[in-house]
Amino acid sequence: MTIDSHAHLGMDAFDADRDEVITRAEEAGLTGIITIGVTVSDSEKGIGIAGLYDIVYASVGVHPHEVKDLEQDAYERLRILARQKKVVAVGEIGLDFYYEHSPRAVQFRHFADQLDLAVELGLPVIVHDREAHRETLEFLGYRKGRLRGVIHCFSGDLQMAKKCVDMGFVVSIAGPVTYKKSEELQKVAREMPLETFLIETDSPYLSPEPWRGKRNEPAYVIQTARRIAELRGIKAKDVEIATEINARNLFGL
């Protein structure tokens, strides 16, 4: 009884068995999956998928890897898509200094523009932050009080998590919390209040143990909940229910 707050059901990895993947998620007890847009066309595909399955919702946005290729009419198309039924957020947007597939200046401009689009539309944001913690906090800090959302696949430390919450955000914990060497993330999962975080798969990526190295899928988010429960010394059901409530509150489900 929980929600996978971040999956990429529109990706080619699920084209052959998407029905079965969503059926397994329902059988595992999931009550919702947010499928995340990374380009305008991917956002359109995600909305189409959400229209086919009761438990699937969608977000619209352009990933920092892809902003270098944005076409002139992209923002108008995003505005139109954001008003479609079952669209619950703007994302996945943000900064990625690990790969830098898009120049930093381009990432900065489109992160700011998409954050402002979310403010305009009154939607929460789903933020990608990889090795850009300081800059991400600065962009969000400029809009404190006007914007809310989630830092997806959180990779910062406990201090950063507290700063995000202070700005009205929650953090999302993914499969790496099950990895032995993810000590800082485990600290965040253990010490942050339950009402301040979500759980996610980021599927098809970042499978939790014992599926590490294989394709991830929404049903596996239950394993992340179990690991968080172990770290906190509570029942997995407590984590599942709390994160479901948090996701419903954030995304207005």
**% of the chain exceeding 90 in pLDDT:** 98
Residue 194: DSSP 8-state: G
Spatial separation of the C-alpha atoms in residues 241 and 196, rounded to whole Å: 13
All domains in the chain, ordered by first residue: 2-251 (3.20.20.140)
Structure tokens at 101: 């597939």
β-strand partners of 90: 60, 125
pLDDT of residue 72: 84
* Cβ contacts of 93 within 8 Å, gap of 6 or more: 61, 62, 63, 64, 110, 111, 114, 115, 125, 126, 127, 128
* Banded pLDDT at 230 (limits 50, 70, 90): very high
| Cβ count within 10 A of residue 191 | 12
**pLDDT (tens digit per residue) in 174-228:** 999 999 999 999 999 999 999 999 999 999 999 999 999 999 999 999 999 999 9
- Check whether 151 has a pLDDT greater than 90: yes
Q: Let me know: does 196 contact 249? Beta carbons within 8 Å.
A: no
Strands 2-7 and 87-96, by their bridges, are unpaired
Q: How many CA atoms lie within 13 A of 239 on its CB side?
A: 26
Separation of CA 233 from chain center: 25
Mean pLDDT calculated for residue range 27-54: 97
**% of the chain exceeding 70 in pLDDT:** 100
Q: Let me know: does 3 contact 26? Beta carbons within 8 Å.
A: no
Spatial separation of the C-alpha atoms in residues 198 and 44, rounded to whole Å: 25
pLDDT of residue 123: 98
Helices (H), the chain: 18-27, 40-52, 74-82, 104-121, 133-141, 158-166, 183-191, 221-232, 236-251
Spatial separation of the C-alpha atoms in residues 116 and 17, rounded to whole Å: 36
**Three-state DSSP state, 171:** strand
**pLDDT (tens digit per residue) in 79-126:** 999 999 999 999 999 999 999 899 999 999 999 999 999 999 999 999
| Cβ count within 10 A of residue 146 | 12
Spatial separation of the C-alpha atoms in residues 99 and 105, rounded to whole Å: 14
DSSP secondary structure string for all residues of 83-123: TSTTEEEEEEEEEETTT-SS-HHHHHHHHHHHHHHHHHHT-
Structure tokens at 133: 């913690």
